[in-house]
Structure 1
Amino acid sequence: MSVWAGLFAPKGVSPDIIARLADALDRALDEAVVRERIARLGGSIPAKDERNPAAFDRLVRSEIARWAPILAATGSGK
């Protein structure tokens, strides 16, 4: 099991806004102070080519596919 974090936006947000937010997050994750703080908290930062909306979408979908059957088997979410 691992822990991850990401930014979500409401459905219908324009692709331009999503791109601007993704770019701002990417730039922040390149800042030394941000990288150091995340490392001190025990976190890690994805590789540069995995820091984009499409890669995050793949991660979220894979996590849903991974955990949904387990949660369903326990009766969670009812």
Structure 2
Amino acid sequence: MAAARARGNVGGRPTVVDEKILRMARDMLPNPENSITAIAKMLGVSPGTLYNHIPDLRELRAGGIPQQLEGAER
């Protein structure tokens, strides 16, 4: 594995999520009319993928400010 990594091969399945998809999902999450499943379907990913890539998903869903941003705003 170390030799493969040194050659630039990291293995595993390539991700389908990029910054554009994450940004669109984050923009849609606070709207209560959009379910997680509906957002995932619109973006062409699974709901689990959204949960895996957006750690503050539940806070965004509730319309609150993510904990990472609270400290930055003070």
- After TM superposition, the score normalised by the length of structure 2 is 0.28
* TM-score (normalizing by structure 1): 0.27
Greater share of helix residues, 1 or 2? 1
